[in-house]
């Protein structure tokens, strides 16, 4: 049902890439926006994300299409949002030991009109000259439409756009939420903000915030307990030169970062928030070793930073977007693929809150986790 557009008061909780994107869209649409964050914008998960814009292995088809629309939305937005400072449409080279799986995935993506093709190892080396020759039997693929972003300058730009259109940014105790009720947000500074809409974009903290509203839990994969899989190790090394592309191997994901650094992640780095410092150091050294095996020109590189990044991971792997069934005054937006999706998802959410309900959001509503109603006898 269409709704009459009017200027209303919105509180956006969380200034990561998704919250900042939503705030910018709402402010540009003429809404009164207040952004709350307990830290500086973009200093939590977004800061440490691989920030890989892709729909490379995302199913089913509706989720693939959502991510592909996200890639396109960033490409469209970059020229209007100082994209030279944060947008890197460099493509992605993947090396794989399972040639059959890679070939099947490339074929499926091509059938879905997604730019993807198998390449020879010589072609892979031409695409990314920094690559060392991989082991015999390695297969390779090229995904030219994929990209990455530098999240900190991107989020700075999004918040600047929002505040230039009248949004208010509150951080620290002023931005730390301690209470929620219909039409009100209370903060650690003792303030009560009156609002028409509350949008929770708090990432991994979403369940604890929605608990303040006595709402049903938002089902994320646990992240605080020992052995939790939501945390992941990020390692940054420097100095690094002469690498352009995103690269994936079976043991490593890497991309260029700022200040001649390289961002590294590994699928088997089993760490959590309880991992001892010496074990984090061991894994950091291991990722540096793998990077040297993958690329030339890393002889002088050392580990300059590492961090255990907690990724918000919905229980079924798909975004959770919409009003909570038990607290319809509270709107939630949480997803594992926030960087890829934010530009497009923020557009859909702005329409959802100010105009019409987009059909593209139907598969992602929180109500899907509700138990089915019992059958009548």
Cβ atoms of residues 244 and 126 within 8 Å: no
Name, in order, each residue with C-beta under 8 angstroms of 167's C-beta and a sequence gap of 6 or more: 23, 24, 26, 27, 33, 34, 35, 159
Q: Which residues pair with 330 in a beta bridge?
A: 198
Report the candidate in 157, 165, 209 with the shortest Cα–Cα distance to residue 34: 165
Predicted confidence (pLDDT) per residue in 9-35, tens digit: 999 999 999 999 999 999 999 999 999
- Residue 168 scores a pLDDT above 60: yes
Predicted confidence (pLDDT) per residue in 295-316, tens digit: 998 999 999 999 999 999 999 9
d(CA 288, CA 303): 7
Q: Is the CATH number of domain 9-49+151-220+315-369 3.30.360.10?
A: no
Cβ atoms of residues 301 and 260 within 8 Å: no
- Residue 374 scores a pLDDT above 80: no
> CA neighbours within 13 Å on the CB side: how many for 219?
12
- Residue 215 scores a pLDDT above 90: no
pLDDT of res. 373: 61
Pinpoint the alpha helices (H) of 112-182: 121-127, 151-164
Q: Across residues 217-221, what is the average pLDDT?
A: 94
- Residue 214 scores a pLDDT above 90: no
Q: Is the CATH number of domain 227-311 3.40.50?
A: no
Query: 239: cis peptide before it, omega within 30°?
Result: yes
Radius of gyration of the chain (CA): 21
Confidence of residue 2 (pLDDT cuts 50, 70, 90): very low
pLDDT of res. 233: 98
pTM score, whole prediction: 0.96
pLDDT of res. 298: 95
Strand-pair category, 184-187 with 231-238 = unpaired
Report percent pLDDT > 90 for the chain: 93
**CA distances from residue 71 to 68, 89, 286, 340 in whole angstroms, order as listed:** 5, 10, 32, 6
The phi and psi torsions of 179 (rounded to 5 degrees) equal -160, 145
Strand-pair category, 302-310 with 246-249 = unpaired
pLDDT of res. 216: 83
Rounded-to-10 torsion of CA 108, 110, 114, 117? 110
3-state secondary structure of 28: helix
151-164 and 17-28 helices cross at what angle (nearest 10)?
30
d(CA 94, CA 99): 11
Cβ atoms of residues 209 and 235 within 8 Å: no
Query: 188: cis peptide before it, omega within 30°?
Result: no
d(CA 12, CA 332): 10
DSSP 377: -
Where do the structural domains in the chain lie, given as residue ranges? 9-49+151-220+315-369, 92-144, 227-311
């Amino acid at each position: 049902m269409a709704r009459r557009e009017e200027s209303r008061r919105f509180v956006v909780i969380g200034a990561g890439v998704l919250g900042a994107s939503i705030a910018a869209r709402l402010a540009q649409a003429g809404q009164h926006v207040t952004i709350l964050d307990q830290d500086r914008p973009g200093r939590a998960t977004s800061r440490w994300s691989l920030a890989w814009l892709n729909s490379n292995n995302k199913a089913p088809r509706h989720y693939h299409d959502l991510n592909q629309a996200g890639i396109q939305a960033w490409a469209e937005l970059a020229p209007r949002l100082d994209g030279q400072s944060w947008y890197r449409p460099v493509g992605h080279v993947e090396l794989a030991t399972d040639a059959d799986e890679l070939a099947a995935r490339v074929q499926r993506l091509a059938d879905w009109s997604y730019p993807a093709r198998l390449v020879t190892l010589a072609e892979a080396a031409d695409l990314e000259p920094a690559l060392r020759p991989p082991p015999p039997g390695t297969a390779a693929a090229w995904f030219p439409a994929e990209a990455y972003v530098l999240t900190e300058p991107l989020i700075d730009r999004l918040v600047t756009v929002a505040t230039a259109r009248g949004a208010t940014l509150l951080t620290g105790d002023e931005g730390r939420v301690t209470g929620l009720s219909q039409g009100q947000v209370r903060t650690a500074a003792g303030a009560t903000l009156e609002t028409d809409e509350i949008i929770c974009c708090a990432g991994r903290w979403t369940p604890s915030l929605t608990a303040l509203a006595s709402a049903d839990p938002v089902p994320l994969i646990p992240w605080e307990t020992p052995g939790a899989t939501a945390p992941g190790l990020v390692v940054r090394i420097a100095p690094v030169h002469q690498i352009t592309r995103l690269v994936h191997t079976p043991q490593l994901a890497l991309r260029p970062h700022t200040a001649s650094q390289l961002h590294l992640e590994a699928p088997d780095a089993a760490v959590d928030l309880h991992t001892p410092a010496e074990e984090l150091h061991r894994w950091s050294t291991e990722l540096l070793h793998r990077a040297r095996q993958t690329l030339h020109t890393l002889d002088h590189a050392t580990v300059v930073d590492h961090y255990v990044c907690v990724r918000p991971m919905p229980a079924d792997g798909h975004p959770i977007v919409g009003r909570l069934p038990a607290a319809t005054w509270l709107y939630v937006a949480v997803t594992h693929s926030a960087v890829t999706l934010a530009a497009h998802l923020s557009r859909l959410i702005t329409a959802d809150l100010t105009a019409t309900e987009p059909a593209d959001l139907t598969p992602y509503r929180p109500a899907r986790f509700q138990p089915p109603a019992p059958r009548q006898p």
